[in-house]
């Protein structure tokens, strides 16, 4: 696949970082969200993430910030989506919200457009069923922070074609990342394991077994993790953690996925992690 324009829907932390990584690798990007306010925040996030990435990748040559920003077009509508071969969707972890987006995309995009669903737990097969060509829908689960993570978990839905898998694999390789293809069951590999770990760590705080920093320190010193599960939860967003656990609980009907009451209380209080300035840590 030639390096053309990739459309990115959802300009939150992950969406902004996906747009940055695409631009760093010479793609033109359409970055769409609902309002100019959100897009202005996304542009600031891209600038900050660029500086952080440059600091962390001192030995890697990077294009200038101006070149990166010039390749990213911020938009609140679907103008230009007819010209793109690949859409990566990163909106909130909520099926009904995603459904509304894909019904719009079905009207606006070409028949051969590939749709990468960036989700933690929602069924790729269920999303694909909304589209005219379900074979063109695939999961593209980017890891946070996107510019530094080497992995993209690619999820093959019931209908996903080999051609779609190969084109997705090629796109990800051009972003200097490795893709691992897994089958479509809620949570896939990463989140079936990680959400359990995060949730159980929250239960440890809830049950007063240990404070958050000590739980994380055990994982860092004892298991060699770069970041503990509760700091990871703050980075992802506690609302996203809660939504993901709720999807897993609903789909598997297994009590091991029942969200800890402390998590639910924190989300209801607006304590969402890094993006709100406070979670298990203060930012």
29 forms beta bridges with 6, 72
Q: Based on the residue annotation, tell me whether 89 is a catalytic residue of this protein.
A: no
pLDDT at 144: 85
**Is 28 known to be catalytic?**
no
pLDDT value at residue 120: 84
Q: What is the pTM (predicted TM-score) of this model?
A: 0.88
* Cross-strand partners of 115: 87, 137
What pLDDT is recorded for position 1? Answer: 43
Radius of gyration of the chain (CA): 19
Tokens matching residue 95: 């099926």
d(CA 216, CA 223): 10
3-state secondary structure at position 180 = strand
Cα gap 33→52, rounded to integer Å: 24
3-class secondary structure, 170: helix
> Which of these is catalytic: 45, 191, 199, 243?
191
Task: Give the Cα separation of 79 and 100 in Å (integer).
Answer: 17
Full pLDDT tens readout for the chain, 283 residues: 446 899 999 999 999 999 999 999 999 999 999 999 999 999 999 999 999 999 988 878 899 999 999 999 999 999 999 999 999 999 988 899 999 999 999 999 999 999 999 998 899 999 999 999 999 999 999 998 899 999 999 999 999 999 999 999 999 999 999 999 999 999 999 999 999 999 999 999 999 999 999 999 999 999 999 999 999 999 989 999 999 999 899 999 999 999 999 999 999 999 999 999 999 999 9
User: How many degrees, rounded to 5, is the angle at CA 225 between CA 223 and CA 226?
Assistant: 150
d(CA 95, CA 82): 24
d(CA 198, CA 166): 33
- Specify whether 199 is catalytic: no
Taking CB atoms within 8 Å and a gap of at least 24, the contacts of 148-153 are 148/53, 148/56, 148/57, 149/177, 150/176, 150/177, 150/178, 151/177, 151/178, 151/179, 151/180, 152/177, 152/178, 152/179, 152/180, 153/179, 153/180, 153/182, 153/188, 153/189, 153/190
pLDDT at 46: 97
Three-class DSSP category at 196: helix
Query: Are 29 and 156 within 8 A, CB to CB?
Result: no
Question: 272: number of CA atoms within 13 Å, CB side?
Answer: 9
H helix or E strand, kind and range, residue 147:
none
State yes or no: is 162 an active-site residue.
no
Ramachandran angles phi, psi of 160, nearest 5°:
-55, 130
Q: Per the residue annotation, which of 23, 28, 120, 243 is the catalytic one?
A: 120
Q: Which of 93, 136, 141, 159 is catalytic?
A: 141
**ω into residue 145 within 30 of 0, thus cis?**
yes
Distance, in Å, from the CA atom of 90 to the CA atom of 255, rounded to the nearest integer, reads 28
Domains of the chain: 5-183 (3.40.50.720), 191-276 (1.10.1040.10)
Catalytic residue among 28, 153, 201, 243: 153
């Amino acid at each position: 696949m030639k390096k053309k324009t990739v459309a990115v829907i959802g300009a939150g932390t992950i969406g902004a970082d996906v747009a940055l990584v695409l631009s760093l690798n010479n793609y033109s990007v359409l970055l769409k969200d609902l309002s100019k306010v959100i897009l202005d925040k996304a542009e600031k996030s891209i600038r900050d993430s660029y500086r952080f990435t440059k600091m962390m990748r001192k030995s890697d040559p990077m294009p200038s910030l101006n070149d990166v920003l010039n390749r990213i077009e911020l938009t609140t509508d679907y103008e230009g989506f007819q010209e793109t071969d690949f859409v990566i969707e990163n909106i909130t972890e909520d099926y009904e919200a995603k459904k509304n987006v894909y019904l719009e995309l079905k009207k606006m995009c070409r028949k051969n457009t590939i749709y990468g669903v960036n989700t933690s737990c929602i069924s790729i097969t269920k999303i694909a069923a909304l589209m005219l060509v379900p074979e063109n829908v695939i999961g593209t689960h980017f890891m946070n922070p996107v510019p530094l993570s080497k992995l993209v978990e690619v999820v093959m839905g019931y209908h996903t074609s080999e051609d779609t898998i190969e084109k997705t694999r090629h796109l990800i390789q051009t972003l200097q990342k490795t893709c691992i293809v897994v089958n479509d069951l809620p949570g896939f590999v990463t989140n079936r394991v990680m959400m359990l770990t995060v949730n159980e760590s929250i239960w440890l705080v809830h049950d007063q077994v240990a404070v958050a920093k000590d739980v994380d320190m055990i994982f860092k010193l004892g298991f060699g993790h770069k970041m503990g599960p509760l700091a990871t939860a703050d980075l992802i967003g506690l609302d996203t953690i809660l939504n993901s656990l709720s999807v897993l609980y609903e789909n598997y009907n297994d009590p091991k996925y029942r969200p800890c009451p402390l998590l639910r209380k924190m989300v209801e209080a607006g304590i969402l992690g890094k993006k709100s300035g406070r979670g298990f840590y203060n930012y």
